[in-house]
Structures are given as structure tokens and as C-alpha cells.
Amino acid sequence: MDSATISERLLDDRESSILRAIVYEYISTGKPVGSRSFVQKYSLNLSPATIRNIMYDLEQMDYLMQPHTSAGRIPTDKGYRFYVNTLLDSYEFKKSDEIEVREDTIRKELQMDKVFIAITKMLSSVSHYAGVILTPRPDYTVVKRVDLIPLESNEIIFVLVTRHGVVINKKVTISATITQNQLYDYSRYLTNELCGFQLLEIRDVIFNKLRDEKVSGLNKDLALDIAELALGGNEESELYIDGIENLLRIPEMVEENRLKSLLNIIEEKNILREMLEKTMENDGVGILIGSEITSSKVSGCSMVSTSYKKGNIRVGVLGVFGPTRMDYEKVVPLVDYTGRLVSDFFTKMTK
């Protein structure tokens, strides 16, 4: 039987339960799992030699590997993948007091940025890894009201209130001079016309439509100029991270080479952003393990993430970032739960 053949075949029951146990053991201890101590610890009715044989097979099939010839086995990324896949559905979530408290904070928070901070704090402090969230792009924000506030004679503050009460403001400089009363009229006009639409629609459709209309007694074009100036910037979604310090607590993460890649991640947030955007399309909790993270700047790390929705639309992603040797059993349900929580939060907000 050559290895190619072996690597195709499915694992039988005994093999998969042993593989699971090995991954589990390695996740808890961080040390290569050897046959003798493994048998002992899990009081199996098998001899070390048998385990060795199985381990050998699993290694041939690329589920396990040896750091060096005479060491125990550690899971490969494929091994981790097997582990999380077979266990994904059976995870159980236990709502702790801490979660209860933090959930409460999130639900009660009114300022958007603080909501995101609270979410990442919850993710990181419960998981003991790093919590991340990619905020919704404001494209889907629904306008509720527009106010123009004079600052200097040719400077205006454009204040936009979204349906869920978030305030976005921009300074706009124009060439003309406008009176306070004019601004008030403009505000009313813009509020009437834009209310109920998403920023995306407004930029792509509404503005054009309004340009073609005729409105008497109002220099609507100047009003539209102002609005276009303020809303023109196609704003990016933002990335919030919390709990980097947790990662520094993990010995294997500060080990020389790892520390470097960790620093890369902190500095170039784009790496994390990409990872998160990748999982945006999927429903449910997704796990990116080690080499599945394409960026070569990251190694030995995993990301457990899920998208969250506003109504039926996926608007963002959140997750936990940590070492590949991560306590998935705890993290996966946490991410799952938090995803639902945040979806709920955003969905209720729009209604």
C-alpha cells in the first residue's frame, strides 16, 4: 500500500477518535504527544505500540507530524482541520456571568465606536486570545436626517443621523457664502429627499435623480453639492482589535520568529482585514488554520470568525485570533454566540 493510496482513505472510528484525542491533548499541553504517556493519560486499552502504529498511519496521511525523529506527534494543519470539522456541530456554549455582564454593556451602549470596543473586549477577555471585529461599511447606513450647521461663512458642518441614531459629521468648505436660513432650508430639503435611503443608493441613484428635478424657490444644486462633498468619500470599514496582550502571554507566540509576525499583524492591520473579508461570504463560524491563512507573514496562527448580519444582509465579520493551538472548543461557540448577539443588535437597530 503506497502512501498515495493511504492518504486518500477515510479514517475509521478508532483512528478518528485517537486523532481527535491527540489534537485535544496537544492543544491543552502544547507538547508533542508521545505514545506511551498518551496511552497512560487517557487510560486506553491499547498498548503504546499500537498507538504508534496508528500514529504512523496518521502521519502518512498528513494529519500528524514529528518535529524531529525521536519526538512525539503534533497535529498538522490538516489535523487541526479534521479536529474542528468533526467537532464543529457538537460544541456547547455555556453562558458565563462575565458574558452576561459584557453582553449587557453592549446592548446598552449608544455610541457606535464604543459598541465595537465592547464587542472586541468581550471576545478577547472571554477567550483569552485577541478579539477582532470588522465594522460594517457605512454604505448600508440608512439616512434619517441631515443637518447643516454653519461654522465660518464658507465652512459648513454636515451632520448626518442614521436610522439607529449614529451621528456622522464632516466639515465641508464651499466657495459661496450662505445664510443661516438658507442652510435651514437646505437641511430640510436634504432630509426630505434622502431620508430612508442607504448611502449607497444615494450616491449611485438618488443624487442623479435629484439633479434632474426642478425645485422652485431653492438653489437645490448648491445643497446637493454640499451633500455630495460630504458623502463622496467612500468610507472603508474599520477594524477593531483588543487583547493583543493575551497573545503575548502565550509562550509559543513570543518565541523569536513568532513575535515578529505578531508585530507585523499588529502594525499592518490589512493582514487581519483580508483574513476577515475572506470569511465574509460564509455563514456560520469559519476557521482559518495556519497555512490556510495565505499571507506568509503569519504563521502558527488561527482565526475563528463569523459574519454578522443586519436583517438578512451580511454587513461585517467578527472573530477571535490566536495561536493555531487554540482552545477551539471554547472559542468556536463564543464566536458563534457573539455573532448572533451582534446580528441581533444591528438588526434591531435598523428597525
- Is the CB of residue 92 less than 8 Å from the CB of residue 147? no
Residue 246, SS3 per DSSP = helix
**Using rule CB under 8 A, residue 49 touches its own copies:** no
Q: How far is CA 98 from the centre of its chain?
A: 21
- Cα(19)–Cα(113) distance, rounded to whole angstroms? 43
Query: Which positions ≥6 away from 18 have C-beta within 8 Å?
Result: 51, 54, 58
Beta bridge partners of 173: 155
- Is the CB of residue 320 less than 8 Å from the CB of residue 132? yes
**Angle between helix 220-231 and 180-194 (nearest 10):** 70
CB of 236 to DNA, least distance (A): 44
CB of 206 to its own copies, least distance (A): 21
Query: Any idea what DSSP says for residue 69?
Result: T
The partner in contact with residue 151, picked from its own copies, DNA, none with C-beta cut-offs of 5 to 8 angstroms by kind, is its own copies
Name the segment binding DNA (CB under 7 A); options: 71-79, 150-158, 316-324, 337-345. 71-79
Query: Which positions ≥6 away from 340 have C-beta within 8 Å?
Result: 308
Q: Which is nearer to its own copies, 169 or 179 (CB)?
A: 169
User: Which residues from 217-256 bind its own copies, rule CB under 8 A?
Assistant: 244-245, 248-249, 254
Residue in 49, 101, 167, 215 binding its own copies, rule: CB under 8 A? 167
Name the segment binding DNA (CB under 7 A); options: 64-72, 150-158, 273-281, 321-329. 64-72
Backbone conformation region of residue 259, classed left if phi is above 0, alpha if psi is from -120 to 50, else beta: alpha
Render the burial of 300-326: b for 16+ CB within 10 Å, e for the rest. bbbbbbbbbbbeeebbbbbbbbbbbbb
CB of 303 to DNA, least distance (A): 27
Residue in 16, 50, 182, 219 binding DNA, rule: CB under 7 A? 50
Residues 2-41, one symbol each (x = binds its own copies by CB under 8 A, - = not), give ----------------------------------------
Residue in 43, 69, 257, 312 binding DNA, rule: CB under 7 A? 69
Name the segment binding its own copies (CB under 8 A); options: 77-85, 160-168, 212-220, 269-277. 160-168
**Using rule CB under 7 A, residue 347 touches DNA:** no
- Cα(35)–Cα(38) distance, rounded to whole angstroms? 5
Q: Which is nearer to its own copies, 61 or 118 (CB)?
A: 118
**Using rule CB under 7 A, residue 16 touches DNA:** no
Which residues of this chain interact with its own copies, rule CB under 8 A?
A: 110-111, 113, 144-145, 147, 149-151, 155, 157, 159, 161, 165, 167, 169-171, 244-245, 248-249, 254, 259, 262-263, 266-267
Binding site for DNA (CB under 7 A): 32-37, 45-50, 52-53, 55-56, 59, 66-73
